[in-house]
Amino acid sequence: MIASKAERESLCQYLLKQKEVCFDTETTSLNPFQAQLCGISFAYNANEAYYVHIPDDAPELAQEVVDDFRAVFEAEEIVKIAQNIKYDMLVLRKYNLELKGPLFDTMIAHYLLSPEGKHGMDAMSEDYLNYTPISFKSLTGKEKDKAKDNLFLQVPVEKRVDYAAEDADITLQLKQFFTPQLQEGGVQPLMDELEMPLVRVLADMEANGVKVNTETLGELSDILGNESQQIEKRIYELAGKEFNIASPKQLGVILFEEMKLVEKPKKTKTGQYATGEEILSKLAREHEICALILEFRELNKLKSTYVDALPELIDAEGLIHTSYRQAVAATGRLSSTNPNLQNIPIRTSRGKEIRKAFVPRQEDHVILAVDYSQIELRIMAGFAKDAHMIEAFKNGEDIHRATAAKVFKVSPEEVDSDMRRKAKTANFGIIYGISAFGLAERLNIPRGEASSIIKAYFEEFPAVKTYMDKVVNDARESGYVETIMNRRRYLRDINSRNATVRGFAERNAINAPIQGSAADIIKKAMINIHDWMSQQDLKSKMIMQVHDELVFDVHKEELELVKTQVIRMMQEAVPFEVPLEVEAGVGQNWLEAH
Cα dist from 448 to 42, 327, 403, 438, 500, whole Å: 65, 41, 19, 12, 21
pTM score, two decimals? 0.92
Angle between helices 417-431 and 447-460 (to 10 degrees): 70
Q: Are residues 462 and 498 in the same domain?
A: yes
Are 294 and 429 in the same domain? Answer: no
Looking up residue 497, the CATH number of its domain turns out to be: 1.10.150.20
Residues 461 and 514 occupy one common structural domain: yes
Distance CA 589, CA 366 (A): 7
Residues 408 and 442 in one domain: yes
Q: What domain count does the chain have? A: 4
Judge if 31 and 175 occupy the same domain. yes
> What is the span of the domain harbouring residue 429?
376-518
Helix, strand and coil in the chain, % to nearest 5: 55, 15, 30
Domain's final residue, options 178, 208, 238: 208
Total number of residues shown for the chain: 594
CA angle 101, 104, 109 (to 5 degrees): 155
Residues 187 and 59 placed together within one structural domain of the fold: yes
Q: What is the DSSP letter of 43?
A: E
Same domain, 77 and 19: yes
Same domain, 523 and 513: no
User: Is the same domain home to 49 and 155?
Assistant: yes
Same domain? For 151 and 44 the reply is yes
pLDDT in tens, the chain (594 residues): 888 899 999 999 999 999 999 999 999 889 999 999 999 999 999 999 999 999 887 778 999 999 999 999 999 999 999 999 999 999 999 999 999 999 999 999 999 999 999 999 999 999 999 999 988 888 777 777 655 677 778 888 888 899 999 999 999 999 999 999 999 999 999 999 999 999 999 999 999 999 999 999 999 999 999 999 999 999 999 999 999 999 999 999 999 989 988 888 888 888 889 999 888 988 888 899 999 999 999 999 999 999 999 999 999 999 999 999 999 999 999 999 999 988 888 878 888 899 999 999 999 999 999 999 999 999 999 999 999 899 999 999 999 999 999 999 999 999 999 999 999 999 988 888 888 888 888 888 889 999 999 999 999 899 999 999 999 999 999 999 999 999 999 999 999 999 999 999 999 999 999 999 999 999 999 999 999 999 999 999 999 999 999 999 999 999 999 999 999 999 999 999 999 999 999 999 999 998
3-state secondary structure of 67: helix
Instruction: Tell me: do 151 and 20 sit in the same domain.
Output: yes
510 and 393 in a common domain: yes
Q: Distance between CA atoms of 589 and 295, rounded to whole angstroms?
A: 26
Backbone torsions φ then ψ of 49, nearest 5 degrees: -155, 160
What residues have CB less than 8 Å from 356, skipping those under 6 apart? 213, 216, 220, 589, 590, 591, 592
Show which of 165, 185, 208 is a domain's final residue.
208
What CATH number has the domain bearing residue 34? 3.30.420.10
Boundary (domain end) residue, out of 518, 538, 569:
518
